[in-house]
């Protein structure tokens, strides 16, 4: 399956999940405030509803085996041959505002920290390469765009840093919008196919 197809479907799945007005904790309705594992599960359910054949074997939180960690999203190979998984994908949120609209200072750490213990998008590029039972590896970021804090500034920084740590063979993106949360209303899903340098 092409990475662009996965990103397009993730964006549509995110919109569909949001339209159900999910609510976590005491936050306002909408998928925006949900934590990453919950978002991936909600979005994958919608992706399966859109194309059961393509995503029937997809699963979340697959143990790496060699690390005390799990891969956020794994997709089966379309042709059913080769390693167990067609794609191993680490997923990260880029959310520069909190549920109440106040700045989320930790967004830089979650995306750009070079330290593995921070479990950032940047360090996940290297972590996903440790997953051996797959044909391809990727980092996927779903990010919200705000007038005062454009997503492009974060993505530009991430692009530069990723290229210094791994080999990027592809970068794709798809927009999403019309979400129900008053602050997390639109954004983009971006993914980088990565290989060892």
Q: What is the pLDDT of residue 1?
A: 87
Using alpha carbons only, give the angle 168, 169, 174 rounded to the nearest 5 degrees.
90
Domain span at residue 133 reads 3-195
**CA 129/CA 125 separation, integer angstroms:** 7
pLDDT range class, residue 82, cuts 50, 70, 90:
low
pLDDT range class, residue 33, cuts 50, 70, 90:
very high
Number of domains in the chain: 1
| Percent with pLDDT over 70 in the chain | 97
Q: What is the pLDDT of residue 122?
A: 95
- Quickly count: other Cβ atoms within 10 Å of residue 63's Cβ: 11
- What are the helix (H) ranges across 27-150? 36-50, 52-55, 107-112, 121-127
């Amino acid at each position: 399956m092409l990475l662009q197809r996965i990103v397009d479907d993730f964006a549509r799945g995110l919109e569909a999940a949001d339209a159900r007005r999910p609510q976590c904790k005491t936050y306002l309705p909408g998928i925006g405030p949900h934590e990453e594992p919950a978002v991936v599960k909600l979005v994958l359910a919608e992706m399966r509803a859109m194309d059961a054949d393509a995503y029937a074997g997809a699963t979340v939180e697959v143990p790496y085996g060699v690390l005390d960690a799990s891969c956020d999203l794994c997709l089966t190979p379309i042709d059913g041959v080769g390693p167990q998984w067609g794609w191993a994908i680490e997923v990260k949120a880029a959310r520069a505002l909190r549920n109440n609209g106040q700045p989320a200072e930790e967004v830089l750490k979650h995306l750009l920290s070079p330290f593995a213990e921070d479990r950032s998008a940047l360090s996940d590029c290297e972590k996903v390469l440790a997953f051996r039972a797959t044909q391809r590896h990727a980092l996927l970021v779903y990010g919200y765009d705000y007038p005062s804090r454009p997503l492009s500034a974060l993505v530009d920084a991430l692009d530069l840093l990723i290229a210094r740590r791994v080999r990027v063979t592809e970068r794709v993106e798809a927009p999403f919008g019309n979400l129900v949360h008053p602050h997390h209303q639109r954004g983009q899903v971006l993914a980088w196919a990565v290989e060892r340098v």
